[in-house]
């Protein structure tokens, strides 16, 4: 007869609750976006949560997290332009294009501030980028970085991106460290940009550090760390949440009367005296209840993403 094994203490299940809003998280280096999301979700005891696009584990900075009703608009933040502060180490190329890979090429660095300015200027505007192997882009359901770790290189289709601006914020000549602020379209690989600038300068480069500081209208200045969240009470965490419409704050606003708001929430098109617009945020009467997102075509307000009546009511009680 087998001896009885000691029973494992049963952990009480943490009750989940409906939470609605946007948390601007300052993600630390070394943590994946999903790990950061799960830690925040547990702290809030949230029923539903999602992030707005992966931020590489080696990168820190702005990671907008969506809870409840806000998850309906996460794609807006995913598609938004991004802003990064990137540190490039000139004179070294590394496997994967960042500081975690081994050095594969070293060259002397003889560059002037003018040459750096000219090289950066070359990469402004629309361009084609080949995604790096050390990226989360998937091939046959598997991230490219998993192939890279096995020493396998797969063909990647180039993608169109736009670098809106590159500003040189610091150049440490002796350390060969160049700091840039880059404003770009979604899907831009900053490590690829770093390597391309290095080649344009003739000395090679890799990405030594990366921090995301902006996503659409959202800014790192409003972000909070996981450590701070853990120290706060639940009431303090809830108070720090931004409303779901923070993700669409740069869209024009439309306000509907009570009767029209009810019909809009049921999915009916409404006539409005507004110019055509690809995206608008729609509110009911005062108190300002956010109802969802829509577009206007030929004088008709057409719903795209609607909050449920329960979600609208929950936001009114916040």
Identify the active-site residue in 26, 56, 98, 245. 56
pLDDT at residue 173, as a whole number: 94
pLDDT at residue 169, as a whole number: 97
pLDDT at residue 287, as a whole number: 74
pLDDT at residue 3, as a whole number: 57
pLDDT at residue 200, as a whole number: 97
Q: 163 near 127, Cβ under 8 Å?
A: yes
Helix, strand, coil percent content, the chain, rounded in steps of 5:
30, 35, 35
**Is residue 81 flagged as an active site residue?**
no
Q: Which residues pair with 46 in a beta bridge?
A: 17
pLDDT at residue 12, as a whole number: 66
Q: 63 near 22, Cβ under 8 Å?
A: no
Query: Mean pLDDT by 10-residue block, N- to C-terminus, for the chain (318 residues)?
Result: 56 84 96 94 96 88 96 93 97 89 93 96 94 74 76 84 97 97 95 95 96 95 97 96 94 93 93 94 87 96 94 85
Length of the chain, in residues = 318
pLDDT at residue 13, as a whole number: 74
DSSP 8-class letter at 224? B
Question: Taking the model in full, what pTM does it have?
Answer: 0.89
Interatomic CA distance for residues 87 and 117, integer angstroms: 15
């Amino acid at each position: 007869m087998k001896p009885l094994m000691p029973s494992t203490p049963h952990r009480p299940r943490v009750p989940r609750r409906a939470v609605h809003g946007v948390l601007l998280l300052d993600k630390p280096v070394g943590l994946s976006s999903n790990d950061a999301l799960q830690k925040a979700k547990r702290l809030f005891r949230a029923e539903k949560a999602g992030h707005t696009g992966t931020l590489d584990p080696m990168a820190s900075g702005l990671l907008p997290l969506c809870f409840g009703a806000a998850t309906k608009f996460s794609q807006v933040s995913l598609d938004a332009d991004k802003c990064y502060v990137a540190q490039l180490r000139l004179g070294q190329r590394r496997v994967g294009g960042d500081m975690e890979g081994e050095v594969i090429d070293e060259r002397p660095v003889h560059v002037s501030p003018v040459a750096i300015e000219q090289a950066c200027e070359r990469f402004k505007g629309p361009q084609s980028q080949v995604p790096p192997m050390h990226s989360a882009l998937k091939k046959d359901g598997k991230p490219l970085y998993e192939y890279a770790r096995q020493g396998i290189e797969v063909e990647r289709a180039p993608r169109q991106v736009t670098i809106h601006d590159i500003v040189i914020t610091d150049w440490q000549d002796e350390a060969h460290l160049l700091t840039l602020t880059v404003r770009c379209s979604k899907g831009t690989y900053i490590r690829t940009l770093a390597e391309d600038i290095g080649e344009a300068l003739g000395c090679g480069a890799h990405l030594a550090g990366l921090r995301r500081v902006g996503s659409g209208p959202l800014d790192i200045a409003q972000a909070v760390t996981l450590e701070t969240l853990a120290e706060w009470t639940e009431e303090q965490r809830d108070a720090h949440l931004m409303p779901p419409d923070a993700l669409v704050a740069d869209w024009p606003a439309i306000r509907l009367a009570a009767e029209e708001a009810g019909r809009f929430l049921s999915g009916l098109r409404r006539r409005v005296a507004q110019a055509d617009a690809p995206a608008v945020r729609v509110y009911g009467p005062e108190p300002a209840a956010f109802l969802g997102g829509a577009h206007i075509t030929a004088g008709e307000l057409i719903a795209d993403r609607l909050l449920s009546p329960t979600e609208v009511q929950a936001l009114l009680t916040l």
